[in-house]
Homo-oligomer: A and B are copies of this chain.
Amino acid sequence: MLVLAAAQAPAQSPAPAKARSMQEILDASKASDWRTLDPDNTLYLDLAAGRVVIELAPDFAPEHVANLRTLAREGYWNGLSINRSQDNFVVQWGDAAEDEKARKPLGTAKTKLPAEFTSTSKNLSFHALPDRDGWAPQVGFAEGFPAGRDPANGATWIAHCYGAVGAGRDVAADSSNGTELYVVTGQSPRQLDRNMSMVGRVVQGMELLSVLPRGTGPLGFYEKPEQRMPIQAIRLASQVPAGERTRLEVLRTDTRLFDELVEARRNRRDDFYKRPAGHIDLCNVPLPVRVPKG
């Protein structure tokens, strides 16, 4: 029992002399520790309050992301709205019309897509965390996304961490077409992992979604049309003139610098923390972004 207790708290040992804080680590980062988002893999959700920037995940849900690109290029969501905000869970947008006949046509986008809950693509890089997780055999970062993995069959999936973006669906696994998207705004609902087609992650602007008033209808849907938050536009960054794009770099998750950053959060060495945790949850790992220099 004592051995187990000790294993739970390795951080009680003195900090190594060279431990740096997260800020010091970021300040010492090199250009190669950062990556620029691909404009064809970046979705801008523009609201009156500002812009939410989403990185798409074609390696995980290629058919969904292809459909999202078509929908964005054809302006499908422009003028639609955020229709749901359920406390400690998700916000969701799409076409609020309940009557199928009243819904906005999908243009050239597909109306039917396969379920894309996990990926076994050989192209997916996976950078594992050593920390144990109750929801998945293994967790870490795949192409920069917080992810679970099953080494037994090589399946990888985007985890439902804060900011994860998924495709809403009905009961049937293959009933999502990408028009209804949700974003996690609460405690990570990891029970949804491997049950949903995940299309990306919010990299900037979560605070515009997380503060939306909670809907008072079932599942947090707004009961009155005027409570819905209008969507000005959802566009691919590549559709937007270069001067109007949001300049952004994202910290790479497959570097030694990132490992050092995670360790700085796993065991906080500053004076405030009296007992470093000796552990970090996948969904507690910060994923810094910055405005590129120059």
Contacts and interface: CB of A to CB of B under 8 A. Distances in A.
A150 B117 CA distance: 37
B136 A8 contact: yes
B268 A2 contact: no
A198 to B, nearest CB: 14
B171 A275 contact: no
Nearest to A265: B191
Interface in A261-294: 265, 268, 271-277, 279-281, 283-284
Nearest to A172: B271
A189 B153 CA distance: 32
Nearest to A188: B187
Interface of A: 1-2, 4-5, 8, 87-88, 115, 117, 131-137, 150-153, 161-162, 171, 173, 186-191, 193-195, 206-207, 210-214, 265, 268, 271-277, 279-281, 283-284
B137 A8 contact: yes
A194 B275 contact: yes
Contact of A5 (B135, B150, B272, B273): B150
A101 to B, nearest CB: 25
Contacts of A206: 87-88
Q: How many copies does the complex hold?
A: 2
Nearest to A281: B134
Contacts of A190: 277, 281, 284
Contacts of A152: 1-2, 4-5
Given A152-B5, A210-B210, A275-B194, A162 B187 contact: yes
Contact of A193 (B137, B186, B212, B277): B277
Nearest to A7: B137
A73 to B, nearest CB: 31
Contacts of A150: 5, 8
Contacts of A115: 274
Nearest to A196: B274
Contacts of A153: 5
B277 A88 contact: no
B132 A134 contact: yes
B211 A273 contact: no
A92 to B, nearest CB: 15
A284 B162 contact: no
Contacts of A4: 137, 152
Contact of A284 (B189, B207, B272, B276): B189
B274 A187 contact: no
Given A88-B206, A134-B133, A151-B1, A187 B283 contact: yes
